[in-house]
């Protein structure tokens, strides 16, 4: 009897090294910003950045995702120069101390992506706009030949949560990704990861609809990343705060794993790593008894 509980195995090519996604991986978030929505994630001191990266690696992070542009709702826009000024020194320090780690940069700007890959050997680019905010991003990714995370966002960080409306949420999100994936593949980009964009131009109900139908994204036959960590779909629904949202984050990450996601993007690496370990143990046990 075929066990349909198990998902298709994926891997992504990080500069010649294959990152096996047959078991879910944990991406640790490093925010080099003064205004990210979760205050404990803000890291702007060089020493604290290295300490935080080291702790995340010790706690089980497979990927470190570095971002210098806050994408919280209503976030202040910063220039390209300021974004690179925030990023360049930390990237240099991280690469010097941890030369072998899988390093991702969270940016929607093609010039930042190019500099990060060419100067600091960054392994992948995480773009919240999927090329919508920089027309050169897709061709740049094709040229750089690195894995590319594309996220769905309605609007931009400054206006995305101003009464987001969909005629048919899943149909619109699926059409968005279908066009993006087709275009990227036509440019020769093979390592594509999709992120449904929880909290980016969605109401609480939209977010839970996406979560409930997360397994339907398998139709694209590419890895799926989710960023549920301490988001408003947790703390607004529970009338709490981001600081009080760890339990909710663990719960939703567990549900996402049952839907077949390959990457959890999180602030709390240890808890996410343990969640993945326990989930894998359950899968192993199911395999042994069927």
Q: Which helix (H) or strand (E) holds 208?
A: helix 204-212
Count CB atoms within 10 A of the CB of residue 22.
12
Concerning whether 179 is annotated as a catalytic residue, the answer is no
User: Is 171 known to be catalytic?
Assistant: no
Buried b (16+ CB within 10 A) or exposed e, 28-43: bbbbbbeebbbeebbb
In order of 37, 58, 69, 230, the CA distances from 241 in angstroms are 10, 27, 22, 8
Q: What are phi and psi of 42, to 5 degrees?
A: -75, 120
Asked if 83 contacts 109 with a C-beta cutoff of 8 angstroms, the reply is: yes
Q: Which of 207, 222, 228, 220 is nearest to 262 (CA)?
A: 222
Catalytic residue among 231, 236, 259, 281: 231
CA distance 124 to 107: 11
Gap between the Cα atoms of 250 and 7, Å rounded: 21
Residues 146, 15 contacting (CB under 8 angstroms)? yes
Catalytic residue among 25, 52, 154, 265: 265
Catalytic residues: 231, 265
């Amino acid at each position: 009897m075929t066990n349909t509980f198990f998902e298709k195995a994926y891997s992504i090519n990080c500069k010649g090294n294959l990152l096996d996604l047959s078991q879910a991986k944990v991406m640790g978030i490093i925010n080099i910003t003064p205004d990210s929505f979760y205050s404990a994630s803000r890291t702007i001191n060089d020493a604290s950045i290295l300490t935080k990266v080291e702790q995340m690696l010790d706690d089980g992070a497979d990927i470190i995702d570095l971002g210098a542009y806050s994408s919280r709702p209503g976030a202040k826009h910063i220039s390209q120069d300021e974004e690179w000024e925030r990023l360049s020194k930390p990237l240099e320090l991280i690469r010097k101390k941890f030369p072998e780690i899988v390093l991702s940069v969270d940016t929607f700007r093609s010039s930042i992506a190019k500099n990060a890959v060419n100067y600091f050997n960054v392994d992948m680019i995480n773009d919240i706009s999927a090329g919508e905010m920089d027309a050169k991003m897709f061709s740049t990714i094709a040229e750089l030949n690195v894995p590319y995370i594309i996220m769905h966002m309605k609007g931009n960080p400054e206006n995305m949560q101003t009464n987001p409306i969909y005629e048919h949420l899943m149909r619109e999100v699926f059409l968005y990704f279908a066009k993006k994936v087709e275009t990227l593949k036509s440019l020769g980009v093979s390592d594509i990861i999709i992120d449904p964009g929880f909290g980016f131009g969605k109401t609480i109900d939209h977010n839970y609809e996406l979560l409930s139908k997360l397994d339907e994204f398998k139709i694209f036959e590419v890895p799926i990343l989710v960023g549920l960590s301490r988001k408003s779909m947790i703390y607004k629904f529970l009338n709490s705060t981001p600081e009080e949202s760890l339990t909710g984050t663990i719960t939703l990450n567990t549900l996402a794993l049952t839907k077949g996601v390959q990457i959890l993007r999180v602030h709390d690496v240890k808890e996410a790593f343990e969640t993945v370990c326990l989930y894998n143990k359950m899968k192993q046990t199911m395999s042994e008894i069927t």
